[in-house]
Structure 1
Amino acid sequence: MNTDFWIPIKLSLEVASISVIIVFIIGLFTARLMARSQFFGKTVIETLLTLPLVLPPTVVGFLLIIIFGINSPMGAFIEQLFNQSVMFTWWAAVIASTVVAFPLMYQSAKTGFNSIDQGIEEAAKVDGAGEWKVFLFVTLPLSIKSIITGVVLSFARALGEFGATLMFAGNIPGRTQTAPTAIYIAIESGNLEMAWLWVLVMIGISFILLLAVSLLK
């Protein structure tokens, strides 16, 4: 296998790694907030947070283009700040993967937080622990299995993202061509041998990730 073969695999792993760090941080604190709060419209917000899980990837890609395109306020601000559009860049692939992977992290973390007896947290507060100490030393350790499951599933989802990435980040070899888009192009061009090799590598990585989740459970 030449160097060109590993470039999409390496790019996919890099994009998925950055995405999972982002969804871990945002998902963790969003899940904590939603698990411990009651307010009007909570169900609607939760539905919006998990919507990317069921939306077609092309719809996600279209919405990202609308939000971050050069004709949008956000897109214009980014272009003015960095002197280039975020579309068809490495970061566009990260954004697309982050959006589709977020619901998995959020749902897993929220499930873990909801499974904790709130009496334990209240007891820690009575003993003098502040909100952050309770979260770091009581809540997180008691929900660690659910959190790790969320991280692994989010990484796997980000790794396999195709539709939104293709629309928003494009398919630029060496820059935005991830393994899923490389497989698509290889099949389109009739290079089935290269497609099979990429497919086998992706199956191997995905199998290891799912096996890790199963062993954890």
Structure 2
Amino acid sequence: MNDIFSNINWSPLWISLKTGIVATVIAFFLGILAARLVMRLNRTFKWILDGIFTLPLVLPPTVAGFFLLLLFSVRRPFGKFLYMQFDIKVVQTWTGCVIAAAVIAFPLMYRNARAAFEQVDITMIQSGRTLGLSESKIFWKIVMPIASPGIASGTILAFARALGEYGATSMLAGNILGKTRTIAVAIASETSAGNYDTAGMWVAIIVAMSFVIILSINMISGKGMKNIRQW
């Protein structure tokens, strides 16, 4: 076991953490904006847009990775435009890791934010309007504080999903050691190579991190759980 730890390349851990944090920040703001937008639409458009925003959650990650690969490939118009005009290359880069993780984590953030917003008492919003507050101030000073537990849970779940993302990441960013190899990709790579001890170590690390994330969610929602009647 000591030989495993001494010879291990720890870059997948740092790449995963860095990717998870950046992807979560992106998913956080986009998820809140999307939830706020959907809340303002009529029923028909709400259903359509909600379905589009939720698709990455129900589709296999490899399907999302395939679409991202088509979009950002330098052989495709948009990917070629980014590369030629701004020297931005997404495929086989860390940027691809972030984009893939953000796309997969976004639905969790969006749906949790929307659920939290829907639970806000409408009378609180109406009271703010009566006091002459702008819609922006109502959102940030009334809606967001009330919905903060749900927002926090969604953020943690989005981070967990971004941290463990494999399918879309492997298709878009590939498996480059020290550059795009995350923990999830490392587990698959080491298992394929027959290095079960190393793969098992990465599995233990990701399980421990996931358990800490679950505990964090339980701590955030602990007040609500106290009101549940014991059987």
TM-score (norm 1): 0.96
1:97 paired to 2:77:
no
Residue of structure 2 in register with 1:68 after alignment? 72
Percent sequence identity is 38
For the aligned residues, what is the CA RMSD?
Answer: 1.3
- Following superposition, the deviation at residue 17 of structure 1 comes to 0.3
Are 2:31 and 1:24 equivalent residues in the alignment?
no
Secondary structure class of the residue paired with 1:129: coil
Q: Tell me by how many angstroms 1:18 deviates.
A: 0.3
Deviations 1:8-40 (CA, angstroms, capped at 9, x unpaired): 011001001000000100101110121233254
Tell me which residue corresponds to 1:207.
Answer: 211
Matched, 1:6 2:4: no
Residue 60 of structure 2 is aligned to residue 47 of structure 1: no
The equivalent position to 2:113 in structure 1, one of 84, 109, 114, is 109
- Residue of structure 2 in register with 1:34 after alignment: 38
CA distance in 2, matches of 1:39, 1:81: 40
Corresponding residue to 1:15 among 7, 15, 19:
19
Residue 5 of structure 1, CA deviation:
3.2
Structure 2 partner of 1:186: 190
What letter corresponds to residue 212 of structure 1 in structure 2?
S
Counterpart code for 1:129: L
Alignment of 1:146 onto 2:174: no
Q: Residue type of the partner of 1:9?
A: L
* Total equivalences in the alignment: 217
Corresponding residue of 2:134 = 130
1:90-146 Cα distance to aligned partner (Å, 9 max, x none): 000000001110000000000000001111111112112111111111000000010
The aligned amino acid for 1:177 is R
User: Residue 39 of structure 2 contacts residue 46 of structure 2 at CA under 8 Å; is this kept in 1?
Assistant: no
Distance 1:216 1:87, change over 3 A: same
SS at the partner of 1:85? Answer: coil
Please, what TM-score do these two structures have when normalized by structure 2?
0.90
Counterpart of 1:198 in structure 2 is 202
Letter of the aligned partner of 1:80 in structure 2?
M
Q: CA deviation at 1:84?
A: 5.0
Which of 75, 80, 105 pairs up with 2:84?
Answer: 80
Q: Which moved more, 1:119-128 or 1:46-55?
A: 119-128
Cα distance in 1 for partners of 2:7, 2:16 equals 15
Instruction: Give the match for residue 225 of structure 2.
Output: none
Q: What is the Cα deviation at residue 4 of structure 1?
A: 4.5
Partner secondary structure for residue 9 of structure 2: helix
Take 1:83 and 1:215, find their aligned partners in 2: how far apart are those partners? Answer: 44
In structure 1, how many angstroms separate the alpha carbons of the residues matched to 2:88 and 2:136?
A: 39
Query: Please, which runs of 5 or more residues in structure 1 have no aligned partner?
Result: none
User: Aligned partners of 2:29 and 2:11: how far apart in 1?
Assistant: 28
**SS of equivalent to 1:143:** helix
